């Protein structure tokens, strides 16, 4: 395809992505992730993925994305801001637990896919002979590494991707396509000498710059750990009211000051709640939980997991 046409189509795809509500759209040319995969394997070998066994599987696909979409030429990385004007309740409460910002609104697994589907259809209109597949955190894809390659941000020392325009309060969607598009260049790392996230992490889960040990991270324990797994004492002692997730390392990041707010109403706090009453949750029955957290990210932890988290917070206070 002529370079001019490729450039026009790339621009048209990026414009349509913004029209759909994405905050940014970057493109990387498909190639094997060699250095990135070596670092990922080292992280796995140190056991920093805790009990997330699925991260060990599909290693070939994680390394070579064209095993997911044969003949893939481009990886399109879409970011979607979820930052709202609300703030976390200050201090620790005896009656309610804090929720990570990403969980205040509706589940991004429901909000992003229809937009990714529309963009994929648009690519098909521009390039009828191509195939595309989209993912929101749902495939064996090293999304952060592709986000860096596509230039939508750099990986901060807390390991999240940071955009100069949007900080780190955004979700990532990926489209793998056989369409050849003009790639973007990675941007530089703007963390500099800052260590605010490492200094603020209450459990020292950021074991070195850019490396998080999930087994020490409050987010892992309150969201990902199986509901019947006990939260270890050193984590529980530092939960300080974090009921679902933890935003501490991102809250202290200077790149998250004064960032733009999302226009996506679905990410506004459901029921105007940025924290949830413990008693309500402790006495909740399954039907109530399913109804209350339908289409919310919080359903992931299940009622038993949420109640386990409350018990850990309260148990640590009583010690
Ligand atoms: S989410 Fe919380 S516990 Fe995890 S690395 Fe960040 S500050 Fe530490
Ligand atoms: S807090 Fe500082 S070191 Fe950590 S990610 Fe933000 S800029 Fe980088």
Report pLDDT digits (tens) over 202-227: 999 999 999 999 999 999 999 999 99
pLDDT at 254: 97
141 lines ligand 1 (CB under 6 A): no
If one counts the domains in the chain, the total is 2
Atom number, ligand 2, closest to the C-alpha of residue 249 = 1
In whole angstroms, what is the distance from residue 234 CA to residue 231 CA? 9
Residue 189 lies in a domain: no
Atom number, ligand 2, closest to the C-alpha of residue 209 = 3
Residue 287 lies in a domain: yes
The residue length of the chain stands at 319
Could you count the other beta carbons within 10 Å of the beta carbon of residue 262? 21
Residue 246 lies in a domain: yes
**Residue 188 · residue 164 · CB < 8 Å:** no
The alpha carbon of residue 35 and the mean position of all alpha carbons in its chain are separated, in whole angstroms, by 22
Q: Could you confirm whether 277 is annotated as catalytic?
A: no
pLDDT at 4: 86
Q: Are residues 246 and 288 in the same domain?
A: yes
Protein residue with least CA distance to atom 6, ligand 2: 253
Predicted TM-score (pTM) above 0.85: yes
pLDDT at 259: 85
Q: Are residues 49 and 114 in the same domain?
A: yes
In whole angstroms, what is the distance from residue 172 CA to residue 134 CA? 11
Q: Are residues 154 and 127 in the same domain?
A: yes
pLDDT at 1: 60
Residue numbers of the domain that contains 153: 3-89+101-177
pLDDT at 316: 84
In whole angstroms, what is the distance from residue 87 CA to residue 61 CA? 39
Nearest bound ligand to the CA of residue 168: 2
Find where tokens 């413990």 sit: 278
Residue ranges with strand state E in the chain: 24-29, 74-81, 96-99, 132-135, 154-155, 161-162, 170-177, 206-208, 211-212, 242-244, 275-277
Least Cα distance to 314 among 154, 92, 162 occurs for 92
100 lines ligand 1 (CB under 6 A): no
Q: Are residues 216 and 122 in the same domain?
A: no
Q: Are residues 46 and 147 in the same domain?
A: yes
Residue 302 lies in a domain: yes
**Residue 135 · residue 112 · CB < 8 Å:** no
**Residue 169 · residue 81 · CB < 8 Å:** yes
Q: Are residues 134 and 219 in the same domain?
A: no
Q: Are residues 215 and 258 in the same domain?
A: yes
Listed in sequence order, the DSSP H helices in 46-107 are: 59-63
- Pairing between β-strand 96-99 and β-strand 242-244 as defined by DSSP bridges: parallel
218 lines ligand 1 (CB under 6 A): yes
167 lines ligand 2 (CB under 6 A): no
Residue 188 lies in a domain: no
pLDDT at 312: 96
153 lines ligand 2 (CB under 6 A): no
Residue 187 lies in a domain: no
In whole angstroms, what is the distance from residue 268 CA to residue 25 CA? 23
| Mean pLDDT for the chain overall | 96
Per-residue pLDDT of the chain (319 residues; tens, 9 = 90+): 677 889 899 999 999 999 999 999 999 999 999 999 999 999 999 999 999 999 999 999 999 999 999 999 999 999 999 999 998 987 778 889 999 999 999 999 999 999 999 999 999 999 999 999 999 998 999 999 999 999 999 999 999 999 998 899 999 999 999 999 999 999 999 999 999 999 999 999 999 999 999 999 999 999 999 999 999 999 999 999 999 999 999 999 999 997 899 999 999 999 999 999 999 999 999 999 999 999 999 999 999 999 999 999 998 877 7
Q: Are residues 264 and 225 in the same domain?
A: yes
In whole angstroms, what is the distance from residue 58 CA to residue 42 CA? 16
Q: Are residues 31 and 162 in the same domain?
A: yes
Listed in sequence order, the DSSP H helices in 23-58 are: 34-45
Q: Are residues 167 and 204 in the same domain?
A: no
Q: Are residues 167 and 210 in the same domain?
A: no
Q: Are residues 44 and 167 in the same domain?
A: yes
Atom number, ligand 2, closest to the C-alpha of residue 200 = 1
Residue 15 lies in a domain: yes
Nearest bound ligand to the CA of residue 214: 1
Enter the DSSP assignment of 222. I
**Residue 65 · residue 172 · CB < 8 Å:** no
Mutate to test the pocket of ligand 1, among 203, 239, 250 (most ligand atoms within 8 A of CB): 203
- Pairing between β-strand 206-208 and β-strand 211-212 as defined by DSSP bridges: antiparallel
């Amino acid at each position: 395809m002529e370079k001019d046409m490729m450039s026009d189509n790339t621009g048209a795809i990026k414009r349509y992505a913004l029209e759909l509500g994405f905050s940014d759209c970057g493109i990387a040319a498909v190639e094997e992730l060699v250095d990135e995969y070596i670092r990922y394997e080292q992280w796995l070998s140190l056991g920093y993925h805790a009990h997330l066994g699925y991260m060990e599987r599909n290693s070939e696909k994680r390394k070579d994305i064209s095993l997911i979409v044969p003949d893939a030429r481009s990886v399109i990385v879409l970011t979607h801001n979820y930052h709202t004007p609300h703030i976390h309740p200050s201090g620790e409460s005896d009656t309610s637990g804090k929720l990570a910002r990403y969980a205040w609104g509706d589940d991004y697994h429901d909000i992003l896919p229809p937009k990714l589907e529309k963009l994929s259809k648009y690519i098909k209109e521009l390039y009828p002979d191509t195939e595309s597949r989209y993912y929101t955190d749902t495939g064996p894809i090293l999304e952060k590494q592709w986000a860096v390659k596509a230039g939508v941000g750099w990986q901060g020392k807390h390991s999240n991707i940071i955009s100069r325009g949007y900080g780190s309060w955004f979700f990532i969607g990926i489209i793998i396509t056989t369409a050849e598009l003009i790639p973007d260049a990675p941007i530089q790392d703007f963390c500099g000498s800052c260590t605010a996230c490492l200094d603020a992490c209450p459990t020292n889960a950021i074991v070195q710059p850019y490396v998080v040990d999930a087994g020490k991270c409050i987010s892992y324990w309150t969201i990902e750990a199986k509901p019947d797994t006990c939260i270890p004492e050193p984590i529980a002692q530092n939960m300080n009211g974090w009921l679902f997730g933890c935003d501490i390392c991102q809250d202290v990041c200077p790149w998250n000051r004064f960032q733009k707010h999302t226009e996506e109403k679905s990410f506004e706090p459901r029921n105007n709640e940025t924290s949830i009453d413990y008693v309500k949750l402790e006495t909740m029955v399954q039907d109530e939980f399913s109804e209350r957290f339908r289409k919310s990210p919080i359903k992931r932890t299940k009622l038993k997991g949420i109640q386990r988290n409350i018990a850990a917070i309260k148990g640590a206070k009583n010690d």
